A = this chain, B = another copy of it.
Amino acid sequence: MTFGKFALGRNFVARATYDSDLIEFLTAFAKSSEIAAASFTAIGALKYAKLGFYDQEKHEYMETPFSDPQEIACCIGNISIKEGEPFVHAHAVLADRYGNTKGGHLLEGRVFAAEVHVTELLGEKQLVRKKDEITGLALWDL
């Protein structure tokens, strides 16, 4: 059972910049605010997006692009350190104009509007991602 204990740090409420990419926005926000570890949620809407599914056998991502507007029905994610830099990992469920949903790893999302709540986590040691041999993913080295 691998886990780390953290203290709560700063709390931020952010309005993602119109026309920015949500992942790039969050990454830039983490860097400029010097956030090394955090948990976040987001709701809002995207102009277009790209979701990923990790193939558990081939160890590679399949990508599904969405060229039409989508509500961010939910987005949950975290910030940790990968290769020395703040790294954003976000999953999302998107919904089109009929409420039809798609979900997965949020690879790209062009912001129409997005409301984000970021809770910083302060640990005794850094929350760092490291290649995991079993899954092929960069998982936390706890």
Instruction: Point out residues on A near B: beta carbons under 8 Å.
Output: 1-8, 10-15, 17-18, 25, 28-29, 32-33, 37, 39, 41-45, 47, 51, 53-56, 62, 64, 69, 71-78, 89-105, 112-113, 115, 117, 121, 123, 127, 132, 134-135, 137, 139-140, 142
Contact = CB atoms under 8 A, between A and B. Distances in A.
Contacts of A47: 56
Contacts of A44: 91
A117 B54 contact: no
A2 B92 CA distance: 22
Contacts of A103: 71, 73-74, 93-95, 99, 101
Counted per complex, copies of this chain come to 3
A116 B95 CA distance: 22
10 contacts: A5-B12, A15-B139, A45-B54, A45-B56, A73-B91, A74-B92, A99-B102, A112-B135, A113-B135, A113-B139
